[in-house]
Amino acid sequence: MTLKNLRWLASIGVATTLVSSALAEKPTVKIDGSSTVYPLTEAVAEEFQKAKQGSINVTVGISGTGGGFKKFLRKETDISDASRPILQQEFDEARRQGIKFIELPVAFDALSVVVHPDNTWVDHLTTSELRLIWAPEAQGKITNWKQVRSTFPDQPLSLFGPGSDSGTFDYFTEVIVGKPKASRGDYMASEDDNVLVQGVSKDKGALGYFGYAYYVENRNRIKLVPIDAGKGPIEPSEDTVHNGTYSPLSRPLFIYVNAESLNRPEVAEFVEFYLDRIAELAKEVGYVPLPKDAYEKAKQRLKKRETGTIFHMHSEAGVTIEQLFQGQLHN
Amino acid sequence: MENMRQAIARRRRVDLIFHVLGAICTSVGIVTIALLLGFLIVKGANRISWEFFSSYPSRFPHKSGILPALVGSGLVMFVTSLLAIPIGIAAAIFLDEYAPRNWFSSLIELNITNLAGVPSIIYGLMALGVVVYWMGLGRSIAAAGITLALLILPIVITATREALRSIPREIREAAMAQGATRWQMVRHHLLPYSLSGIATGVIIALSRAIGETAPLITIGALSFIAFLPPAPIQSQPPFLSFEWLSSPFTVLPIQVFNWVSRPQPAFHEVAAAAAVVLIVFTLLLNSTAMILRKRARSRISW
């Protein structure tokens, strides 16, 4: 054997490199960030490359909202996917680096609270009942459905939710418990929402929460719980998200565009394409698009290159679509 | 007499118990792998087609393919082997045949053994700081190749040293007695005799590298990439291009990870199919290693 075989191994390596087709250096749009926003950006990137017949390259990474902003603030990316608005520290860092950005809401995600399909007793939950269940004080104490509401049966309560690195977790704890990341710790946590779906579908006493897309794909295995925030029980749907009644559990998703990158035609073209096509693509990947006029406002903001965030010093909890475009932009 | 029979019977019982226990333990491993592979094949088999290998990822599961991941994995492994194999073998030869035995060489040896036990994520963090930022290679194929090369270097070194040590002392002494220099002895005797052993170690190291995800995520492998790196051979002079080294990339394990976490069950089938491809690659590499080892044993006689 010996040298001959090694040469053979090496030629496999060479052959693999030859498979790569002949492409010269091309304009590239670099995107990274939230895994929640990823399916939206992936869909747009796919269509964009098709429309441009491969003359512009688009790369999309998944580093999480925080990880994406880190790269964005090092000027490694042109666009950052974010499932929450930019944080104060990130905003300060952008200012230090002299980075101007344009904040564009692109779609809505409705956090869905779900139970096992055989759960006949829950017809809705109020936000205060959710707080009772998920607050840090509930740890080890609220362990049975009958403790949640006196009419509920004597059935052990098992909880499923995203882990603490997730933007979904940050948002849910902020609007339900009142403080980001304040949650009981004795629940089954996973960064993979499919694990949560599995868990809820196999346990009669289960209660869980995650993004709407994961409910839609698993309707036959889990049951949606309408949420009452004081105005009667509401189920998440395109209508209830648009008219603002599925509040506070619907949240906007964003892309942040580096204003300097917009001087490059490929980036400008991509972002315009994004806002043109996202309404139709969002539905395909299981998200709720913004109303039409919201996209018009977003396009206006892009056209006028209005930089800054409206979330300076206050949180996004329960923000309405109008507010996304009315607030003062901070730079 | 009676006592002795009883004692023998008792020992036989213990022997039988261990026999059964050992068989159970062995089957745990085998059954797990068989189930895992079977489950993946059942789930993903009908996704595997020519289109699957030749398409880019897509938001539609049935249109999704692994082309950029396959090319990415191939190129990264190419860079990795180009670096790890020569450096690893040379280092092993130096340590075993040239280096004087003193506290310094023992220190180096100890460090190599320890490096083999460092979790791969640490290599990723180190590479992010040193290779990506300090060396300025960016989040590129070259950076990924270097990272994985460093990761498997200790394995290559250890395997090569094992292979060298299996060669009897007399061979070395005979060569030297004929007036051969150290390099002549290594070149004409040690290397040819130990090549199968070295190749086995190298392949096992590479099959570890091909499945690595953690260090590549830290240095920034991407999830969606619908283009291929620039080809290394161009139609215009100078014909050779190394641009692909600085290209962004994705690899198979990361593509699998991405698809598994999607809500649509159809994506989970695509993930299973890609996982089957990855496992088949790894098994192929490992069985090549096994064949080489077998040949090494049967070929060499002194």
Residues sharing a CB contact under 8 Å with residue B93, sequence separation 6 or more, in sequence order: B160, B164, B186, B190
Q: Please count the structural domains in chain A.
A: 2
Q: Are residues A94 and A148 in the same domain?
A: no
CB A152 within 8 A of CB A122: yes
pLDDT at position A18 is 42
pLDDT at position A25 is 62
Q: Are residues A257 and A146 in the same domain?
A: no
Q: Are residues A220 and A118 in the same domain?
A: yes
pLDDT at position A22 is 38
**Cα(B56)–Cα(B300) distance, integer angstroms:** 47
Overall average pLDDT of the B160-176 stretch: 90
Q: Nearest residue of B to residue A48 by CA position? A: B226
Least-confidence region, from B144-148, B270-274, B292-296 = B292-296
Nearest to A59 among B59, B196, B224 (CB): B224
Residues of B (198-257) whose Cβ lies below 8 Å from A: 199, 220-235, 243-244, 248
Long-range contacts of A52-56 (CB under 8 A, 24+ apart): A54/B226, A54/B227, A55/A26, A55/A27, A56/A26, A56/A27, A56/A28, A56/A29, A56/A266, A56/A269, A56/A270
Q: Are residues A31 and A125 in the same domain?
A: no
Q: Is residue A244 part of a domain?
A: no
pLDDT at position B183 is 92
Residues of A (272-311) whose Cβ lies below 8 Å from B: 281, 284-286
CB A295 within 8 A of CB A288: no
> What is the Cα gyration radius of chain B?
24
Q: Return the number of CB contacts < 8 Å for A and B.
A: 134
Asked if A21's CB is within 8 angstroms of B228's CB, the reply is: yes
- Asked if the model's pLDDT at residue B234 lies above 80, the reply is no
Q: Are residues A116 and A195 in the same domain?
A: yes
Q: Is residue A243 part of a domain?
A: no
Percentage of chain B lying above the pLDDT 90 cut: 37
Overall average pLDDT of the B274-285 stretch: 89
Overall average pLDDT of the B275-297 stretch: 84
pLDDT at position B236 is 65
- DSSP-derived secondary structure for B24-90: HHHHHHHHHHHHHHHHHHHHHGGG-SHHHHH----SSGGG---HHHHHHHHHHHHHHHHHHHHHHHH
Least-confidence region, from A178-182, A280-284, B184-188 = A178-182
- Asked if the model's pLDDT at residue B26 lies above 90, the reply is yes
- Asked if the model's pLDDT at residue A21 lies above 60, the reply is no
- Closest alpha carbon to A242 in A274, A298, A311, A288: A288
Q: Identify the band that residue A7 occupies on the pLDDT scale cut at 50, 70 and 90.
A: low
pLDDT at position B290 is 83
**Summary mean pLDDT of chain B:** 88
The CATH number for A183's domain is 3.40.190.10
Give A64 to chain B, closest Cα distance, Å.
12
Percentage of chain B lying above the pLDDT 70 cut: 95
> Model confidence over B109-137: pLDDT tens digits?
889 988 888 898 999 999 999 998 898 88
Q: Identify the band that residue A24 occupies on the pLDDT scale cut at 50, 70 and 90.
A: very low
Tell me which of 1.10.3720.10, 1.10.10.10, 3.90.1170.40, 3.30.70.100 is the CATH number of domain B49-299: 1.10.3720.10
Whether chain B has a CB inside 8 Å of the CB on A61: the answer is yes
For residues A151 and B239, the model is more confident at A151
**Considering A200, A235, A270, which residue would you say is the last residue of a domain?**
A235
Q: Are residues A158 and A264 in the same domain?
A: no
- Asked if the model's pLDDT at residue A326 lies above 80, the reply is no
Q: Are residues A118 and A231 in the same domain?
A: yes
Whether chain A has a CB inside 8 Å of the CB on B295: the answer is yes
Spell out which residues of chain A touch residue B57, defining contact as CB-CB under 8 Å: 42, 46
Nearest to A194 among B71, B230, B261 (CB): B261
- Asked if the model's pLDDT at residue B97 lies above 70, the reply is yes
Residues paired with A250 in a beta bridge? A110
Spell out which residues of chain A touch residue B260, defining contact as CB-CB under 8 Å: 192, 194
Q: Are residues A91 and A120 in the same domain?
A: no
Q: Are residues A102 and A122 in the same domain?
A: no
Whether chain B has a CB inside 8 Å of the CB on A19: the answer is yes
- Asked if the ipTM is above 0.95, the reply is no
For residues B148 and B300, the model is more confident at B148
Whether chain A has a CB inside 8 Å of the CB on B187: the answer is no
Q: Are residues A149 and A218 in the same domain?
A: yes
Q: Which domain holds residue A258?
A: 3-108+252-323
Asked if A1's CB is within 8 angstroms of B196's CB, the reply is: yes
> Chain A interface, mutation test: which of B50, B55, B58, B59, most A Cβ atoms within 10 Å?
B59
Residue A242 neighbours by CB distance under 10 Å: 17
Give B219 to chain A, closest Cα distance, Å.
11
pLDDT at position A11 is 52
Overall average pLDDT of the A113-136 stretch: 93
Overall average pLDDT of the B9-34 stretch: 93
**Considering A235, A267, A293, which residue would you say is the last residue of a domain?**
A235
Q: Is residue A26 part of a domain?
A: yes
> Chain B interface, mutation test: which of A7, A34, A62, most B Cβ atoms within 10 Å?
A62
Asked if A17's CB is within 8 angstroms of B74's CB, the reply is: yes
Give A159 to chain B, closest Cα distance, Å.
20
Q: Are residues A117 and A190 in the same domain?
A: yes
> Model confidence over A231-273: pLDDT tens digits?
889 999 888 888 888 888 988 899 999 999 999 999 999 999 9
Q: Identify the band that residue A60 occupies on the pLDDT scale cut at 50, 70 and 90.
A: very high
- Asked if the model's pLDDT at residue A2 lies above 90, the reply is no
Q: Are residues A259 and A315 in the same domain?
A: yes
Q: Identify the band that residue A5 occupies on the pLDDT scale cut at 50, 70 and 90.
A: low
Nearest to A62 among B75, B223, B232 (CB): B223
Asked if B71's CB is within 8 angstroms of A61's CB, the reply is: no
pLDDT at position A208 is 95
- Asked if the model's pLDDT at residue A20 lies above 50, the reply is no
* Token pair 């070194």: residue: B157
**Cα(B126)–Cα(B118) distance, integer angstroms:** 12
Overall average pLDDT of the B100-108 stretch: 88
Spell out which residues of chain A touch residue B195, defining contact as CB-CB under 8 Å: 1-3, 6
**Summary mean pLDDT of chain A:** 86
> Chain A interface, mutation test: which of B216, B234, B261, most A Cβ atoms within 10 Å?
B261
pTM of the model: 0.79
Nearest to A20 among B56, B229, B248 (CB): B229
- Asked if the model's pLDDT at residue A3 lies above 80, the reply is no
For residues A76 and A192, the model is more confident at A76
> What is the Cα gyration radius of chain A?
23
- Asked if the model's pLDDT at residue B139 lies above 50, the reply is yes
pLDDT at position A318 is 65
For residues A243 and A280, the model is more confident at A280
Whether chain A has a CB inside 8 Å of the CB on B264: the answer is yes
Q: Is residue A246 part of a domain?
A: no
